[in-house]
Amino acid sequence: MSRRSSPLNTVIIAAVAAAVGALLTAAASTLSGQGQIAAYRAPRTADGKPDLNGIWQAVNEANFDLEMHMARPAMALRPGPYGPLPAAPVLAWGAVGAVPPGTGVVDGGAIPYTPEALARKKDNHEHWLERDPEIKCYLPGVPRATYMPYPFQILQSASAFFIAYEYAGATRNIYLKDPGRPPVDAWMGQSVGRWEGDTFVVDATGFNESSWFDRSGNFHSDALHVVERYTRAAPDVLSYEATIEDRNVFTRPWKISMPLYRRLEKNAQLMDFKCAEFVEELLYGQWRKAPLK
Amino acid sequence: MKLRHLLASAGFVVAAAAPASAHHAFGGEFDPSRPILLKGKVTKIEWVNPHAWIHVEVSKPDGTKEVWMIEGGSPNSLLRRGVTKETLLVGTEVVVDGYQARDHTTRANGRNVTFTDGRKLFLGSSGTGAPLDGSDPTEPSRGQR
Amino acid sequence: MRYRLLTFAGVIGAAFVVSMTPGRLIGQAPKPGGGAAQPSLPRTADGHPDLQGTYDLATLTPVERPTGMAAVLTDEAAKQLEKQVAARNEASARAIKGDRAAPPVGGDGSVGAAGGVGGYNTFWLDPGSAYTIVNGEKRTSLIIDPPDGHVPPVTAEARARAAAARARVVRTSDEIARENDPGLEGPGAYDDPERRPLGERCLLGFGSTSGPPALPTYFYNNLHQIVQTPGSVMILSEMVHDARIVRMNAQHLPQAIRQWMGDSVGRWEGDTLVVDTTNFTDKTRFRNATENLHVVERFTRVNAVTLLYRFTVEDPATWARPWTGEYAWPATKDLLYEYACHESNYALGGILRGARLREAEETQKTKK
């Protein structure tokens, strides 16, 4: 199989070799950490990591109810002559107050509560108006902050990974070096991040027991442990998974997953959503000098 | 006056350095005409902002028990000095002097919160005045970590 | 021949891999553009100084210069004053009597924020232990312009605004209580939550800690964190977990859109990050300024552990002229912790309830 090696042949062979080399390099990068060949290789930051910078938002009904569910008349219900009806305090909202249907984000369908915890979840659901921390504009916790229906921004540099959420101005600084045990409990917990191949893995602990997972009473204790996985799946899509475990509430760890979409508008930016101001009448109105009628 | 002197060091006296709009008016929340002295056991500590709250169970003269919520400062500075939620244990005996809440609930400001022997709670290793201003270009300004 | 082809391919492939894995760029690299480059400063990959880190803004240097002081302290004088502060801290840390009496009826004599009831122990506080150093000088004020170190006089319009605000307040029998009680504020100050300071409502941290301009609180929780990406620079203030996102090389929001911390856009001027902020709400009211407040901040890295922060404030409706201040932001190894404020704001309810109870008691008294 001899052939004369002309200069042109050499150039063509070199070009093909380069292309093959490039393909192999790209495939190798996306193979690592996922155990499968992903179609997309994300652009890198200057320090060689997939670039997760940008403004992202979930598009689903997870904040209403993590599990697959039919549409419901309202988030607060009362018995009616032919089935549940919106409770009096939310009646005037009409269809705006309805719970839309959702195909669910829980792997396996159902959240694996212990029997006592399931009873408490149902009780929470029935007392949504008094108990859902979202109503009082309390910090949303993790992972609820991710799928609140508002944008959040990832700011990623070589030395930092920070997430700013539009809702209630919630923030999470993801430590790239583990600072050790969280000294006290926090609404947004303490997060430590690391790269596994092209996936940014965040390990979050140090939560208080006060946040909920959604508007349906799904809850946790201060033993909550969340492991999140952020992977760029396409130019404008982040693949997001969160594994949740809490020995006081669930029989085993369980997982949610969903795509997060980039806000592509030219003028996309986080704006003020300081809702604490908006709930002052709800929380303190009765103690005005002249309470409103 | 010694007390004023101490408070001056705490920044409570409005000197040139004090913030124009104060953190909040303690005088609006607590009542100078209702001083209290409480001795009891810690039953709960809320390590929260804007104020930590130490719940203290006291025995009243008639033998019944009553829980007071004692308002403290922000826990964050304490956390930076190594205090954690395990530092002050439930059951610890404390002595609190201060003034009762203006709404007459069993809440008070923890003007002084001490152990029964008078030692102040949460004394960390805050040092005695080595300037921590970054003037040494090889050293960050502080931190025990 | 085949061997030669494989070797060639291998070299090309290797070259490709190497080109795709950039090495560490921090600490080297001349930067693009003009201005005096300091090759020893850490830089990001795009050549700009790396401003990132966690900083503790606590300082003994007040915003305005105390009367009679020079602009700069001698090292001797500074050491003296810093030692005095340290000594006072040590004294206030000393044990008191366990077996002690309650404080006096009518208040313990404390004034200002402590309002007669004395606040709480100094172990909660972290107000600063040293004077800020800029260009090797220990400063006696943050304000450098006007040169007297004071905020310029307020305009007649600003005085009229303040008077009108006071006139709107309904005078009640609270006046009597207020005259006898140094802790209470003016009449009507407790009528509604909206009348309370933003810090008390947990809407913004007190003392303009986030600003802009970002000022020391002279109290605690002065930690700030900067995260820097090509398109955005984020400045996090510990209180109240406020992340101010500076959009680089962008246009301001439309006039109709107002934000609590305004809208910040940034650009590089040589090695200095210049941040321009407008679009404040009319509720922010930094030192009683209007919504037309305009703040320009300049961040410069001085050395590996220090930033210089300079700010210029202007609002022609409030001050006769713009004013400028500056101070050092020293890096800290300390961690910035969550300051969830609104979630456990027991105090605000207590303050309002207390005011209502006091009014009810006043009404009872006047009935008798």
pLDDT tens string, chain A, 293 residues long: the values are: 444 556 666 656 655 655 555 555 554 444 444 444 457 999 999 999 999 999 999 999 999 999 999 999 999 999 999 999 999 999 999 999 999 999 999 999 999 999 999 999 999 999 999 999 999 999 999 999 999 999 999 999 999 999 999 999 999 999 999 999 999 999 999 999 999 999 999 999 999 999 999 999 999 999 999 999 999 999 999 999 999 999 999 999 999 999 999 999 999 999 999 999 999 999 999 999 999 99
Whether chain B has a CB inside 8 Å of the CB on C275: the answer is no
pLDDT tops 60 at residue B103: yes
Instruction: Report residue C300: phi and psi, to 5°.
Output: -130, 135
**CB < 8 Å to B40, chain C:** none
Contact C193 A3 (CB under 8 A): no
Helix axes A7-31, C2-20, angle to 10 degrees: 50
Round to whole Å and give the CA distance between A71 and A216. Answer: 12
Name the C residues in 11-50 with CB < 8 Å from any B CB: none
Closest CA to A108 of A258, A256, A260: A256
Tokens at A284, concatenated? 């303190």
Query: What number is the ipTM of this complex?
Result: 0.87
CA C65 to centroid of chain Cα atoms: 18
pLDDT at B5: 39
Cβ-Cβ contacts under 8 Å for A66 (sequence gap 6 or more):
A104, A105, A106, A111, A213, A214, A216, A218, A256
Q: What is the pTM of this model?
A: 0.86
Neighbouring chains to B with at least 3 Cβ pairs closer than 8 Å: A, C
For testing contact with chain B, the best of A178, A184, A187, A211 (most B CBs within 10 A) = A184
Q: Provide the Cα torsion C280, A273, A152, C225; round to 10°.
A: 50
Instruction: Report residue C343: phi and psi, to 5°.
Output: -65, -30
For testing contact with chain A, the best of B85, B103, B105 (most A CBs within 10 A) = B85
Residue of A nearest to C16 (CA): A22
How many angstroms separate the Cα of C305 from the Cα of each of B131, B135, C80? 15, 9, 25
CA C43 to centroid of chain Cα atoms: 25
- Taking the CA atoms of C296, A275, C227 and A151 in sequence, report the sign of the dihedral they define: negative
- Return the biggest CA–CA distance within chain A: 100
**Terminal-residue alpha carbon distance, chain B:** 39
Contact A283 C228 (CB under 8 A): no
pLDDT at C11: 40
Classify residue C333 as exposed, middle or buried by CB count within 10 Å of its CB (0-12, 13-18, 19+): middle
Q: How far is C58 from chain B (nearest CA, A)?
A: 9
DSSP state of C195: G
Whether chain C has a CB inside 8 Å of the CB on B16: the answer is yes
**CB < 8 Å to B13, chain C:** 110-112, 114
Residue % of chain C over a pLDDT of 70: 84
**CB < 8 Å to B5, chain C:** 88
Round to whole Å and give the CA distance between C96 and B117. Answer: 8
Tokens at C284, concatenated? 């922010």
Round to whole Å and give the CA distance between C275 and A195. Answer: 32
Q: Token match 């020893």: residue?
A: C40
pLDDT at C367: 79
Kindly state the average pLDDT of the residues B57-83: 95
Classify residue C202 as exposed, middle or buried by CB count within 10 Å of its CB (0-12, 13-18, 19+): buried
Judged by DSSP in three states, A8 sits in helix
- C18-46 pLDDT, tens per residue? 333 333 223 333 344 444 555 589 999 99
Judged by DSSP in three states, A31 sits in helix
Closest CA to C216 of C113, C126, C85, C341: C126
Q: How far is B75 from chain A (nearest CA, A)?
A: 9
Instruction: Report residue B134: phi and psi, to 5°.
Output: 75, 15
Cβ-Cβ contacts under 8 Å for C26 (sequence gap 6 or more):
A158, C42, C43, C44, C50
Round to whole Å and give the CA distance between A254 and A238. Answer: 20
Query: Confidence class of residue C111 from pLDDT cuts 50, 70 and 90?
Result: confident
* CA C151-C152-C156 angle, 5° bins: 125
- Taking the CA atoms of C64, C304, C23 and A159 in sequence, report the sign of the dihedral they define: negative
Whether chain B has a CB inside 8 Å of the CB on C66: the answer is yes
- Beta-strand ranges (E) seen in chain A are 54-58, 77-78, 85-86, 152-156, 161-165, 171-175, 190-196, 199-205, 225-234, 237-245, 254-262
Please, are residues C308 and C299 in contact by the beta-carbon 8 Å criterion?
Answer: yes
Please, are residues A89 and A76 in contact by the beta-carbon 8 Å criterion?
Answer: yes
pLDDT at C145: 98
The DSSP string of C279-344 is: -B-TTT-GGG--TT-EEEEEEEEEETTEEEEEEEEE-TTTBSS-EEEEEEEEB-SSPPPP---GGG
Residue of C nearest to A292 (CA): C192
Tokens at C202, concatenated? 């947990």
pLDDT at C25: 28
Round to whole Å and give the CA distance between A59 and C160. Answer: 50
Tokens at B85, concatenated? 């939620």
Contact A18 C13 (CB under 8 A): yes
Closest CA to C151 of C306, C258, C286: C286
Q: How far is C18 from chain B (nearest CA, A)?
A: 34
pLDDT tops 50 at residue B128: no
How many angstroms separate the Cα of B35 from the Cα of each of A260, B31, B102, C108, C181? 56, 8, 11, 9, 14
